[in-house]
A and B are shown apart, each in its own frame.
Chain A
Amino acid sequence: AQKVTQAQTEISVVEKEDVTLDCVYETRDTTYYLFWYKQPPSGELVFLIRRNSFDEQNEISGRYSWNFQKSTSSFNFTITASQVVDSAVYFCALSGNDMRFGAGTRLTVKP
């Protein structure tokens, strides 16, 4: 069975702080994909990144970076120098036959 765990329900930081959102997954598949989505207050989830199970290279995109570690089944997301606009719910997801999402982490960035 596939499962995604986001243990952090809510995180609150002050602007310019760095913050890491944790994601741990379970799957028996050897080929799979991991995703992060952002859900702003408007409701629609917005795609941030996709990683396949054979590519453990970390990725950086501006203030965002992702750390994929197969050995610990984790795919963590770090926002550097957070901004108020980063406030949202962030979902980690695992894709096999269908897309399974974690429970989400609500990030609040205070000015």
Chain B
Amino acid sequence: KAGVTQTPRYLIKTRGQQVTLSCSPISGHRSVSWYQQTPGQGLQFLFEYFSETQRNKGNFPGRFSGRQFSNSRSEMNVSTLELGDSALYLCASSLEFPNPARELFFGEGSRLTVL
């Protein structure tokens, strides 16, 4: 069973540009969550999608957005990049929503560097 796949794994952008990251969940999983990981802030919740609808959102500016497609694949977009957006962006999938007991399955992340 294939795991969570994130693309691209590494990317470098400059300030002001935008970036789109992709996440393919485990087959059969319908929930996709996104997290930003930085050395200073740890893992911070961005948003979660289930059945193509955003169900929860963390405390991030509107420059951060996402969507989910009918096949459960998800993309997140960051516009007008800032230096502080440099981070590892992790995607996690799960079978159900809402279910606080659910286990999250993570991808290896997309490491974004903003110059």
Q: Using Cβ atoms and an 8 Å threshold, which residues of chain B touch A45? A: 90, 92, 104, 106
Q: Could you tell me how many residues of chain B have their Cβ less than 8 Å away from some Cβ of chain A?
A: 27
Tell me whether A98 and B56 are in contact in the complex, defined as CB-CB below 8 angstroms, given that A44-B3, A44-B106, A44-B109 are known contacts. Answer: yes
Find out whether the CB atom of B100 lies under 8 angstroms from the CB atom of A96.
yes
Find out whether the CB atom of A44 lies under 8 angstroms from the CB atom of B4.
yes
Find out whether the CB atom of A99 lies under 8 angstroms from the CB atom of B104.
yes
Find out whether the CB atom of B35 lies under 8 angstroms from the CB atom of A33.
no
Find out whether the CB atom of A104 lies under 8 angstroms from the CB atom of B100.
no
Task: Name the interface residues of B1-58: CB closer than 8 Å to any CB of A.
Answer: 3-4, 33, 35, 41-45, 48, 56, 58
What is the size category of the interface that chain A forms with chain B?
20 to 34
Find out whether the CB atom of A101 lies under 8 angstroms from the CB atom of B42.
yes
Kindly state the separation between the CA atoms of A44 and B92 in the bound complex, as whole angstroms. Answer: 9
Distance of A64 from chain B, by nearest CB (Å): 16
- Residue of B whose beta carbon sits closest to that of A103: B42
Asked if B107 is at the interface (CB within 8 A of a chain A CB), the reply is yes
Find out whether the CB atom of A50 lies under 8 angstroms from the CB atom of B56.
no
Q: Top 5 closest A-B pairs, CB basis? A: A103-B42, A101-B43, A95-B100, A43-B108, A45-B106
Interface residues of A (CB under 8 A from B): 31-33, 35, 37, 42-47, 50, 52, 91, 95-104
